[in-house]
Amino acid sequence: MAFASAVTVLLLSATAAYVTIARLRDSAHWVIHTYQVESSIGELDASVAVFTRLRTGYVLSGDEDLVKSFQSALPKVREKLQEIRALTQDNPAQVELCNRLEAVTEQRIAVAQHSIALRTSEPASDAKQSGLTMDGLNLGFQSAAITLEMRKDEQALLRIRMRESNRLFVLTVVILAATFALALILLFIHYLLLNGELRARELAERAAREGENSLRHLTSRLLQMQDEERRKFSRELHDSLGQYLAGVKMSLDMFAQADPKTRSEEVLAGAIQLLDQSIAETRTISHLLHPPLLDEVGFASAAKWYVQGFSERSGVAVNMEIPDGQGRLPRSLELGLFRVLQESLTNIHRHSKSPRAEVKLNSSPNKVVLQVKDYGNGIPAESLRQFQNKGTNLGVGLTGMRERVRELSGLLDIRSSPQGTVITATFPLGNAYGKAVSTSAD
């Protein structure tokens, strides 16, 4: 927007500058026009003075060459008159003065021609020549008065046109200077915004690289944990369920090999008891892997069942607050909430040594918030700061929790002190619903 604004301002200023310069050019043209009028008036005076001197010289000397020069000077006088008329035709006052000047000039030409003719016919007529000279002088005074008035009018116009020209020049300079300054400001703003965008992109790329490194580390740790879990369940299957089933087999073998008359009902009862324990152990392992309540009745019931079992096994008193009538959530979101709850309570049991914990669930049309709070040892401040700012791993549990929340477009906030830790997971309900629908469709 800043760059587009700068370009727009430059275009508008270019248009304004063009219009102002065009008007300045017109004003300069009229200034030049005034000087042209004054120059033409001066050239007319010079041409009239030439033929006047030629007439005087012929009257005094009778030289015929002067008559020829006189005749050749007259067209130039009339040419200058026409030039002045053409230059002043836009000014009615000057047109009137030009008409008067042309009339007086024609009279002066007529007097000069009459004087030359009189010198040719009556060489000794000094008295008549003196009268014609006086008439020429009177006409000269009239012509001088007219040209003086024309010059005054042109000088007045010149002052007006010079002021207008100077005003337009100053306006042009101001427009160009203001435009240049504004364009520089907008371009500087554009530079700042672009630089900020580049910094944000660099931070995003750095965060993506750190996230990729964290994800690789998490993947490696998850593979290790998967192997550990497999070994754990293998041991549990071998040591518990396997032993129960082996006991059942031995009991049934003893029952089958015994004489039907002497078979003991206690052997069969023991086998049935071992089968009941095997079934219970199978259900426990199944619930630990994925609680069926989560799919059947939703997060609220599964969370209450899990928290109750966790308290019984760990001895940690857990106070759970879930709104009554909490409805079903998208399947992927319920699974994400349950895993965050599992991992948070597991960390409380393993690391914080807190005697009690609090679990709260709040939901709105736009988001779901799960908060787990304990009163244990807390997380070291430096480790937590590096985990939050630099993406440094703080154990596979919290890292996996962060990645799971991020996958659902949520926000994970961890606040810790020596008095305890608060983990808050916020999920946008709209995005989560979209992911749930996509997962269900797949």
Cβ distance 409 to 431 under 8 Å? yes
Residue 76 has pLDDT above 80, yes or no: yes
Identify the weakest region by mean pLDDT among 55-59, 60-64, 240-244: 240-244
Structure tokens at 215: 């994800």
Provide the token pair at 129: 């020549």
Mean pLDDT of 395-417: 83
Among 232-241, 347-356, 381-390, top mean pLDDT goes to 347-356
Q: How far is CA 228 from CA 225, 232, 241, 248, in A?
A: 5, 6, 19, 29
Q: Which two tokens stand for residue 333?
A: 């979101």
281/58 Cα distance (integer angstroms): 150
Confidence of residue 311 (pLDDT cuts 50, 70, 90): confident
Q: For the beta carbon of residue 433, count every other beta carbon within 10 angstroms.
A: 15
- Is the pLDDT at 306 greater than 60, yes or no? yes
pLDDT in tens, 58-68: 888 888 888 88
pLDDT the model gives residue 103: 92
Give the pLDDT band (50/70/90) at residue 261. Answer: low
Show me where the domains of the chain are located: 2-191, 290-442
Phi-psi region of 363 (alpha: psi -120 to 50; beta: other; left: phi over 0): beta
Q: Does residue 244 carry a pLDDT above 90?
A: no
Cross-strand partners of 362: 369
Mean pLDDT of 224-233: 65
Name the most confidently modeled range: 129-138, 154-163, 180-189: 129-138
Phi–psi pair at 373, nearest 5 degrees:
-125, 135
Mean pLDDT score, 402-412: 87
Segment 296-303 shows an average pLDDT of 84
Place domain 290-442 in its CATH homologous superfamily.
Answer: Histidine kinase-like ATPase, C-terminal domain (3.30.565.10)
pLDDT in tens, 350-385: 888 889 999 999 988 889 999 999 998 888 887 777
- Among residues 346, 382, 352, 361, the alpha carbon closest in space to that of 427 is found at 361
Q: Write the DSSP symbol of residue 318.
A: E
Q: Check whether 164 has a pLDDT greater than 70.
A: yes
Mean pLDDT of 104-120: 88
Segment 32-47 shows an average pLDDT of 86
Highest mean pLDDT among 88-92, 259-263, 267-271, 413-417: 413-417
Query: Tokens in use for 316?
Result: 């940690």
Percentage of the chain beyond pLDDT 90 is: 9
**Which tokens hold the place of 164?**
């207008």
Using CA atoms, how far residue 368 sits from 277, 309, 323, 360, 440, in Å, is 39, 24, 12, 11, 20
Record the tokens describing residue 379, joined without a space: 């997380």
- The predicted pLDDT at position 440 comes to 38
Predicted confidence (pLDDT) per residue in 130-145, tens digit: 888 898 889 889 988 9
Q: What pLDDT score was predicted for residue 298?
A: 85
Neighbours of 347 (CB within 10 A): 21
Residue 388: pLDDT over 80: no
pTM exceeding the 0.75 threshold for the entire prediction: no
Q: Which of 3-7, 186-190, 327-331, 369-373 has the lowest mean pLDDT?
A: 3-7
Question: pLDDT averaged over the chain?
Answer: 80
Task: Quote the tokens at residue 220.
Answer: 């490696």
Q: Coil, strand or helix: which one is 260? A: coil
